[in-house]
């Protein structure tokens, strides 16, 4: 901790930062309005794949960067799970040194273009910005600025390839290519390891590819980052399920010294209510995978998807928002959220709820499904729902939804997407009987090093947390890479 604070102080004391601070009065900075993110027209975008947020212009980014006070005690950093030096990158933007801003981001965050788009900033960095906590004003748009700097770098065509230490010829394996695995692979490569990433699907990226839709996170951007990682010498093997295609023992025989497991939360949950297996009822994973990974909506591609006119999506998280907005894009007249709590309790990013409303999504909050009914072909045609009210807070601290007896009614639907959560992917725990797991199926690790009960196996991301965020998964990947580095170096010394 000490040296981080010292480092931040030293950085802040540099002449260019001191001059920037003096160049404008604090009063003037704080009296500015936060810039608005330009967005595509809601009724154009809800019929296409185009990204909703257009991105800030350089002028707007500089204006927004000027709002940041370059605080002596930058509380914003404490809200970022990977501890980005936020004032440093923002002041680089103010100084129009956009490349410098991008380099700063990459010091601690391997995928800033992704995080700038999908982090729940309002609950992480922006909630602890000086503006929020001391001035009671709208925070600096840290996420929008992060995205701006990362996009600027990508569009400049001069993506910096992070420097790697001299190759040490020690083989390490990363299992899963979601954000946790990619972050771990990036750092392990920087330490000089010979890194192979194994991925079960035919594409690299995990949820970034199969889950989060194009209109929020274009695939092209994930691919660019992966290209950079290839240039760092990282090898990728798709269509390879560790524990099935080859066992851990097979891989050890091939010389792998340590493993990072970032296998995610793969298993969709259903509600186990009558009729849930009728045609036209999907898990959000299936619905989104068909459209995002398999391109089912494009007639040129072989995978089909059924999506109707009246679509109900059950749940209130990011996955539910992505599904309900996707249904609209696939042509639904009515696309609605059915959520058992109220909007305050919704776990989705605030921006996604706002965008969904603008796009004409119907919100049936405080409602819960009880049963589905099908037509003569087995396709869902309607559902019974019940009204709920909020009772006492439960273990999660959120007020518990309580059914209102006698409030049941029937709604016509022809497609339903069940988005009530996922369980940890069981593939790795099933392949390793002596791996210590919780009753929920998450892997138990030491928080400092992410080491599991099997010394050479480390883990992070959703397989450890049960379900989290992109940036938390990446933070875990980095912590684990450091833990693995220490473990391997000690082992080498001992021999």
Ligand X SMILES: Cc1cc2nc3c(=O)[nH]c(=O)nc-3n(C[C@H](O)[C@H](O)[C@H](O)COP(=O)(O)OP(=O)(O)OC[C@H]3O[C@@H](n4cnc5c(N)ncnc54)[C@H](O)[C@@H]3O)c2cc1C
Residues 232-261 that bind ligand X (CB under 6 A): 241-243
Stretch that binds ligand X, among 94-102, 406-414, 434-442, 468-476 (CB under 6 A): 468-476
- Residue 121 interacting with ligand SF4 (CB under 6 A): yes
Alpha-carbon gap, residue 320 to 331, rounded angstroms:
17
Cβ 479 to ligand X shortest distance, Å: 13
Partner interacting with residue 428 (select from ligand SF4, another protein, ligand X, none; CB below 5-8 Å by kind): ligand X
Token digits for 125? Answer: 């960095």
Contact 285, 422 (CB under 8 A): yes
Token digits for 348? Answer: 């989705």
Stretch that binds ligand X, among 57-65, 193-201, 360-368, 404-412 (CB under 6 A): 193-201
- Residue 288 interacting with ligand X (CB under 6 A): yes
Alpha-carbon gap, residue 110 to 262, rounded angstroms:
16
Residue 72 or 393 having the CB closest to ligand SF4:
72
Cβ 202 to another protein shortest distance, Å: 4
Residue 72 or 304 having the CB closest to another protein:
304
Partner interacting with residue 178 (select from ligand X, another protein, ligand SF4, none; CB below 5-8 Å by kind): ligand X
Stretch that binds another protein, among 99-107, 110-118, 144-152, 281-289 (CB under 8 A): 281-289
Residue 52 or 76 having the CB closest to ligand SF4:
76
Handedness of CA 297, 318, 449, 447 (dihedral sign): negative
Cβ 350 to ligand SF4 shortest distance, Å: 13
- Residue 426 interacting with another protein (CB under 8 A): yes
Candidates 24, 95, 159, 306; binder of another protein (CB under 8 A) is 306
Stretch that binds ligand SF4, among 118-126, 220-228, 255-263, 279-287 (CB under 6 A): 118-126
Residue with tokens 């059914």: 403
- Residue 87 interacting with ligand SF4 (CB under 6 A): yes
Alpha-carbon gap, residue 461 to 315, rounded angstroms:
22
**What x-and-dash track marks residues 125-154 binding ligand SF4 by CB under 6 A?**
x---xxx--------x-xx--x--------
**What x-and-dash track marks residues 444-483 binding another protein by CB under 8 A?**
----------------------------------------
Candidates 64, 70, 334, 462; binder of ligand SF4 (CB under 6 A) is 70
Candidates 196, 318, 368, 386; binder of ligand X (CB under 6 A) is 318
CA distance to 37, 357, 362, per residue, from 351 (Å): 11, 10, 16
Helices 142-155 & 86-94 angle (0-180, nearest 10) = 60
Alpha-carbon gap, residue 210 to 318, rounded angstroms:
14
- Residue 262 interacting with ligand X (CB under 6 A): yes
């Amino acid at each position: 901790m000490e040296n981080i604070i010292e480092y931040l102080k030293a950085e802040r004391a540099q002449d260019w930062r001191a001059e920037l601070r003096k160049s404008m009065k604090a009063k003037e900075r704080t009296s500015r309005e936060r810039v608005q993110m330009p967005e595509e027209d809601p009724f154009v975008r809800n019929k296409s794949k185009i990204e909703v947020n257009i991105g800030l212009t350089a002028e707007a980014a500089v204006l927004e960067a000027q709002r940041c006070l370059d605080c002596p005690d930058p509380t914003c950093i404490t809200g970022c799970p990977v501890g980005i030096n936020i004032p440093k990158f923002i002041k680089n933007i103010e100084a129009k040194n956009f490349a410098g801003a991008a380099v700063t981001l990459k010091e601690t965050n391997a995928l800033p273009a992704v995080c700038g788009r999908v982090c729940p900033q309002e609950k992480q960095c922006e909630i602890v910005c000086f503006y929020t906590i001391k001035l009671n004003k709208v925070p600096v748009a840290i996420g929008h600025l992060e995205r701006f700097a990362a996009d600027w770098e990508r569009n400049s065509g001069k993506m910096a390839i992070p420097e790697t230490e001299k190759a040490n010829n020690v083989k390490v394996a990363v299992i899963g290519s979601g954000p946790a695995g990619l972050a771990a692979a990036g750092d392990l490569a920087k330490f000089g390891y010979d890194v192979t990433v194994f991925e079960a699907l035919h594409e690299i990226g995990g949820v970034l590819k199969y889950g989060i839709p194009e209109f929020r996170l274009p695939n092209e951007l994930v691919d660019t980052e992966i290209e950079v990682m290839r240039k760092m010498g990282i090898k990728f093997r798709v269509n390879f399920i560790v524990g099935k295609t080859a066992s851990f023992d097979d891989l050890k025989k091939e010389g792998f010294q340590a493993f990072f497991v970032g296998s995610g939360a793969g298993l969709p949950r259903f509600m186990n209510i009558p009729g849930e297996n009728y045609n036209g009822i999907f898990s959000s994973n299936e619905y989104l995978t068909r459209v995002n990974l398999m391109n089912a909506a494009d007639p040129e591609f072989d995978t089909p998807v059924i999506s109707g006119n009246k679509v109900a999506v059950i749940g209130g998280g990011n996955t539910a928002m992505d599904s309900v907005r996707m249904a609209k894009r696939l042509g639904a007249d009515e696309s609605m959220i059915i959520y058992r709590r109220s909007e305050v309790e919704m776990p989705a990013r605030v921006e996604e709820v706002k965008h969904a409303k603008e796009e004409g999504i119907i919100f049936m909050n405080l409602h819960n499904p009880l049963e589905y009914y099908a037509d003569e072909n087995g396709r869902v045609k309607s559902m019974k729902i019940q009204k709920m009210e909020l009772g006492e807070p439960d273990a999660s601290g959120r007020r518990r939804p309580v059914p209102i007896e006698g409030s049941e009614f029937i709604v016509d639907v022809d497609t339903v997407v069940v988005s009530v959560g996922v369980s940890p992917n069981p593939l790795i725990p099933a392949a390793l009987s002596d791996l210590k797991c919780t009753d929920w199926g998450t892997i138990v690790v030491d928080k400092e090093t992410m080491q599991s009960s099997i010394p050479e196996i480390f883990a992070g991301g959703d397989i450890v947390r049960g379900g989290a965020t992109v940036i938390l998964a990446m933070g875990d990947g980095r912590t684990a890479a450091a833990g693995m580095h220490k473990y391997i170096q000690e082992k080498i010394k001992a021999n």
